[in-house]
């Protein structure tokens, strides 16, 4: 089974092609761009470049897997919309997976995790997205919290954003963002079983920074000048 994997939950814009079997998830090609502001510009070219590198065309794909966060609103929206567009155009399923789960899956695949693993990524506002794992299975999170409020214990190692992982007194595992193989591994059981994927649902974990502006008429009615004018006319 040939699977396209996409993740834009972190500053690493990732696209890759993975061959999935009952026994393994082998990455055939990967493209990664570290730029939190370039998701929309580079993602689709990366998909096409990865396919070209491994000698496949879009029509060869059997499924798409996309990280659904947690992550910033704009980045997640680009990745999920792109994944859904490819899947819809090709008539193939698209599976969403927790991006922190993908980091944990890659870390455990490398065999560098002696016990409970903490995974953290940048949530901005001086906070981190986090989750804990035992044997690759999530046992807490995902959630968002200030690093000072997140205890290292009971974890014995940490993976994810290097700048944020170093805030915890734990041995680091060198997996900093979701990889194509990690993403596909999380969805492997459903993919191989031919299960109908659930609708894509982003894990924002909090409201986006952008807010809808108030209607002009409402703003005018609430302005001090308007209220003063109304009072003088009574």
Claim to verify: residue 27 and residue 55 sit in the same structural domain: yes
The 3-state DSSP class for residue 129 equals strand
Angle between helices 73-90 and 39-53 (to 10 degrees): 40
Claim to verify: residue 154 and residue 71 sit in the same structural domain: no
Claim to verify: residue 29 and residue 93 sit in the same structural domain: yes
pLDDT band at 86 (very low <50, low <70, confident <90, very high): very high
Whether 67 maps to a domain, the answer reads: yes
pLDDT at 13 over 60: yes
**Of 38-42, 97-101, 175-179, the least confident:** 38-42
Claim to verify: residue 80 and residue 161 sit in the same structural domain: no
pLDDT at 218 over 50: no
| H or E element that contains 76 | helix 73-90
C-alpha span between 204 and 18 (Å, rounded): 26
| pLDDT one-digit tens code per residue, 39-83 | 888 999 999 999 999 999 999 999 999 999 999 998 899 999 999
Whether 218 maps to a domain, the answer reads: no
* Cβ count near 162 (within 10 Å): 13
Claim to verify: residue 10 and residue 66 sit in the same structural domain: yes
pLDDT at 37: 80
Q: Which range marks the domain in which residue 36 is found? A: 2-98+178-193
Claim to verify: residue 85 and residue 183 sit in the same structural domain: yes
pLDDT band at 222 (very low <50, low <70, confident <90, very high): low
For the residues 19-42, what does the mean pLDDT come to?
A: 91
Claim to verify: residue 89 and residue 131 sit in the same structural domain: no
Total domains in the chain come to 2
Domain of 57: which CATH number? 3.30.420.40
pLDDT at 230 over 80: no
Whether 230 maps to a domain, the answer reads: no
Claim to verify: residue 94 and residue 61 sit in the same structural domain: yes
* Cα angle, residue 126 at apex, residues 43 and 151 outer, rounded to 5°: 110
pLDDT at 71: 94
Closest CA to 113 of 165, 169, 171, 166: 171
Claim to verify: residue 79 and residue 188 sit in the same structural domain: yes
pLDDT band at 232 (very low <50, low <70, confident <90, very high): very low
């Amino acid at each position: 089974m040939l699977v396209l994997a996409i993740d834009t939950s972190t500053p690493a814009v990732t696209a890759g092609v993975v061959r999935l079997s009952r026994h393994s998830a082998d990455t055939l090609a990967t493209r990664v761009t570290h730029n939190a502001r370039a998701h929309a510009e580079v993602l689709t070219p990366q998909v096409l470049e990865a396919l070209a590198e491994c000698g496949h065309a879009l029509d060869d794909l059997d499924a798409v897997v996309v990280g659904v966060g947690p992550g910033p609103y704009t980045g997640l929206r680009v990745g999920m919309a792109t994944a859904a567009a490819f899947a819809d155009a090709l008539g193939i399923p698209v599976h969403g997976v927790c991006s922190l789960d993908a980091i944990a899956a890659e870390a455990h695949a490398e065999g560098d995790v002696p016990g409970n693993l903490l995974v953290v990524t940048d949530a901005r506002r001086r906070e981190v997205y986090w989750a804990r794992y035992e044997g690759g299975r999530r046992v807490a999170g995902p959630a968002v919290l200030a690093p000072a409020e997140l205890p290292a214990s009971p974890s014995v190692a940490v993976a994810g954003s290097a700048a944020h992982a170093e805030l915890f007194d734990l041995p680091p595992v060198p997996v900093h963002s979701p990889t194509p193989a990690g993403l596909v591994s999380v969805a492997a059981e459903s993919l191989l079983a031919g299960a109908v994927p659930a609708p894509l649902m982003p894990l924002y974990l909090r409201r986006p920074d952008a807010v809808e502006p108030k209607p002009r008429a409402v703003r005018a009615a609430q302005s001090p000048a308007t209220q003063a004018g109304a009072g003088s006319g009574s």
